[in-house]
Structure 1
Amino acid sequence: MSVYSTLRNALFFLILPTRLVIWWLYFIPKSNRQNPAWSWKTSVSVQAARSFIRHHTAIRYRTPKSLEPGPDGDRFIILNPQNTLSNTDSPVYKGILNSVPDIKPVPTGAVWYPAAPVQPPKKLVIHFHPSAFVILGARPSDDTAHGWGLDHFSELSGWPVLSIQYRLSLDADKTFPAALQDAFTAYAYALGTLKIHPSHIVLAGESAGGNLVLAMLRYILTDNQALPLPRSALLLSPWVDLTDEGMNKTKMHQNARVDYIGYDLGHWGATSYIPPGWEETSPYFTPLGSEYKLSVPLFVHVGTSEVLYDDIMQFARNMKEKGTDVELHEAPNAPHAIFSAGKGLGMEDVAIDGHARATRFIERTGPTSESEVAGLR
């Protein structure tokens, strides 16, 4: 961290207590709240989240990444790249995954929610955390609610969750397709090591993680059809437009003063993630406008107070018009990525409703019994 960033970081935390007191007092009247339907706790929490994200963006904060378990103990595991799967001669990493010569598959960290399974699971949700490709992580300590969202969703649904610590685009050798390589390292682990049938694997991604899930599905369909498609996908506040035009739209959006994310974070993330010279309109970066019929059912969860609301709604409508099975849920008055952030933002009830809807969606997609799975082999 530079001297400038160090001083700015110190100043931020020095004045933070004063800001918190001001926010606590300011948001007592409902008329001062960003959304009149929000509670006092939600208004203060969203303002605090907005302030932290702006600060992290301004100093280009580098989220620590380690392959040491630390306090997560046996919940933390390391996934090693698997070049091929036992049931196919096709390599896992090919085509677009080899498009930047300096970026290679590497060991990837992952965290179990709510706990490490005693026996290898027979079904799995592979989760990709929100990040704008430059912040946050998969560990409970990376989340102000300490993993509450994933813990609750796993316990409610009965599906174990493995959240992936994919590479953030903080260096030249970690742009696209580094995160996508890590995503397939996780998918290959589920298929090849855990031996889970693809019909019992669900891909889930929040924000940039949702963008990553859509890139995974596109890669299987276009670059590596030897890989099986998963049962279904959960797109939770997915980021579907990484163009600068798309980022500029957020400045004028009706939710620009409500949501805690905005142009600065999006611009930092997109320009860091997209390799120099690549078109930002590529469907691997911007799936909005490149929709197609997909055999994998999609659950799309969006908050009505999100700055990305219009883009997500349009993407869901376009996919549905192309013939994809899309279940769309609008979470009332929710800001960005409420699925995991519900407790931290004082909207647990809205998040829990999303967990229940996603659980029912998973249940209605794919086979429901081992006999049905056997019939697919």
Structure 2
Amino acid sequence: MVSSIISAPFVPLLYIRREFRQDRDWSYRQALTGALMKACLSVYVALRLKPKSSLSLKPCWEGDLFVTIEPAPTDLYTGITVHDKIHPETIAGTWFPSLYQYNTTTNQDKHVILHFHGGSYIIGDGRTSSSKHLANSLLENTPTSHIFSLQYRLARNRATRFPAQLQDAIAAYSYLIHTLHFPTNRIVISGDSAGGHLALSLLRYIADYDDETVLPPPTCCWLFSPWCDVPGALKQRLWDNIPNTQTDYIPASFAAWGAKQIIGNIELSRENEGYLAPIWHPFVLPSPILIVSGGREVMCQEHDRLARYLGKLQQNEERVKFFVHEMLPHDILMVAWLMGFQKEADQCASKAGNFLSQVLGASDDSEVPCVAFERQ
């Protein structure tokens, strides 16, 4: 971190020449913003800043777009989600572009997205200030009418570590299907970065849950730059040795700090590792998934491995698709507006929309390939 602070004043001058940028194809704005974001995250970790004691349940700027959610019925929490010190709590979320209510009418070909934001489980809240650009990109480029962005609990202390976030995801999914009575064949589960990890965890829980009539699977799942090995992030030296470390804005220290907060003193077992490190514990998916990665992000190789491992276990009616946009860093849908990658973010969102359309069109086709890989 010290070297980053010392070199910071010279970076704006250095990046004038393309050969000194993280990627020669990046613009000056893209290179400079990426470097500044990496420095800010490094400072955040160095100061050992922790999340607020609790996230606000007040609407603030969101107004009636912001709603609170009570815990799901107790019978929906079983197995890994039952903990003697971590219990379901009242949470909240933000609707985009407008509030969805039980009597809201939408076109039958439109879907609702349950989205989980990124932030290494230590920052973020899914509100308009941080998520409106991501939400607008998905709304404009996919066949969806509404997005519900969940404000799940951040890992701030022993009472909000794993499985608190999975408890919140279950409550949000139950809210859509049991309170708003939204049919699951019109629900897409989505997540970026740590939110992608949470989305995959929820999908695994749905697969593990005994009663499919109570917790049926969604139409499909979109994973944008998913964090797929949380315990692995504790090994900072391995992270620093990955080639894409130089082109990504996520420092090893930020991922390690998030992993430390979410895991805490949990004793890792095969049961909880399946949720914390899904890359090493693939499972039969209850719904098709799309994994979107950036070719310049540090986790790109892990995303490729995750897609392959999951694809090997699926039957013909399941499908795994992996799409890589070669020139992008981590979680572009979240940071596109900052770095100047909006065109590329819209392309990734369009891939998600196309994937959903393919899933709907192929629902009666038993010859759907198990796994497909695509690069751009």
Could you tell me the TM-score, scaled by structure 2's length? Answer: 0.85
The match for 2:94 is 111
- Residue in structure 2 matching 1:261, options 235, 250, 255: 250
Aligned length: 344
Could you tell me the TM-score, scaled by structure 1's length? Answer: 0.85
- Given that 2:141 and 2:350 are in contact with CA atoms closer than 8 Å, whether structure 1 keeps it comes out as yes
Q: Residue 164 of structure 1 aligns to which amino acid in structure 2? A: L
- Given that 2:94 and 2:149 are in contact with CA atoms closer than 8 Å, whether structure 1 keeps it comes out as yes
Deviation string for 1:158-217 (max 9, x for gaps)? Answer: 411111010111111101110001101100000011101111111001111111111111
Q: Does residue 305 in structure 1 map to residue 296 in structure 2?
A: yes
Distance 1:56 1:303, change over 3 A: same
SS at match of 1:302: strand
Deviation string for 1:330-373 (max 9, x for gaps)? Answer: 0121100002221211111111100111011112224799xxxx
- Given that 1:111 and 1:138 are in contact with CA atoms closer than 8 Å, whether structure 2 keeps it comes out as yes
Q: Does residue 355 in structure 1 map to residue 363 in structure 2?
A: no
The match for 1:317 is 308
Q: Does residue 276 in structure 1 map to residue 259 in structure 2?
A: no
Q: 1:293 Cα shift?
A: 2.8
CA distance in 1, matches of 2:244, 2:69: 39
Distance 1:367 1:68, change over 3 A: farther
- Residue in structure 2 matching 1:134, options 99, 106, 122: 122
CA distance in 2, matches of 1:53, 1:113: 28
The match for 2:43 is 55
Q: Residue 297 of structure 2 aligns to which amino acid in structure 1? A: E
The match for 1:374 is none
Q: Does residue 72 in structure 1 map to residue 66 in structure 2?
A: no
SS at match of 1:67: coil
Q: Is there any run of 5+ residues in structure 1 with no aligned partner, and where? A: 1-14, 85-90, 370-377
Deviation string for 1:6-40 (max 9, x for gaps)? Answer: xxxxxxxxx99x94x64332211101101111111
Distance 1:359 1:247, change over 3 A: farther
- Residue in structure 2 matching 1:218, options 195, 204, 221: 204
Q: 1:280 Cα shift?
A: 6.9
Q: Is there any run of 5+ residues in structure 2 with no aligned partner, and where? A: 364-376
Distance 1:224 1:271, change over 3 A: farther
- Residue in structure 2 matching 1:183, options 160, 169, 188: 169
- Residue in structure 2 matching 1:167, options 139, 144, 153: 153
Matches within 5 A, 1:187-202: 187-202=173-188
CA distance in 1, matches of 2:362, 2:96: 22
Matches within 5 A, 1:18-37: 19=8, 22-37=10-25
Deviation string for 1:249-296 (max 9, x for gaps)? Answer: 211011112111132111111121124242176111001121133241
- Given that 2:118 and 2:193 are in contact with CA atoms closer than 8 Å, whether structure 1 keeps it comes out as yes
After TM superposition, which residue ranges in structure 1, 4 or more long, deviate above 4 angstroms? Answer: none
